[in-house]
Amino acid sequence: MNKSHFSKIIAGTMSWGVWGKNFNPNEMQRIIETTVDLGISSFDHADIYGGYTTESAFGMAFSKTGISRSSVQFITKCGIQLVTPNRSNEIKHYDCSKAYIMSSAEASLKYLQTDYIDVF
């Protein structure tokens, strides 16, 4: 993959949701549009951000922007299992099994409302 494909600055989304700024859908849409207008086209995610809620909020907001998916890059990751009301985990742990990675990738595709992830 061509490294110039990604913007020189990558927008981290960890604090966009309930773990920080708690942007509402309109605010998240505006921050995505502003970020892209500034020339930052790469967005970093993780399945755990916002207690497993930020990818979905971002996906909904991005779908309203009118920005072409091919003009931005989505990066996401997985492996950490948090104890949260959104999951049945009883203890914080890491899961790097093939089954978990595959299910996390499928969930990220769904939540980000995209056909592909640029880097996983």
Distance of CA 30 to the CA centre of its chain: 16
Q: Could you tell me if 78 and 97 are in contact, meaning their C-beta atoms sit under 8 angstroms apart?
A: no
b/e burial code for range 61-73 (CB count within 10 A of at least 16 → b) = bbeeeebeeeebb
What are the structure tokens assigned to 82, written together? 């948090």
Q: Which of 49, 52, 111, 116 is catalytic?
A: 49
100 among known catalytic residues: no
Maximum CA pair distance of the chain? 42
Question: Which residues carry out catalysis?
Answer: 49
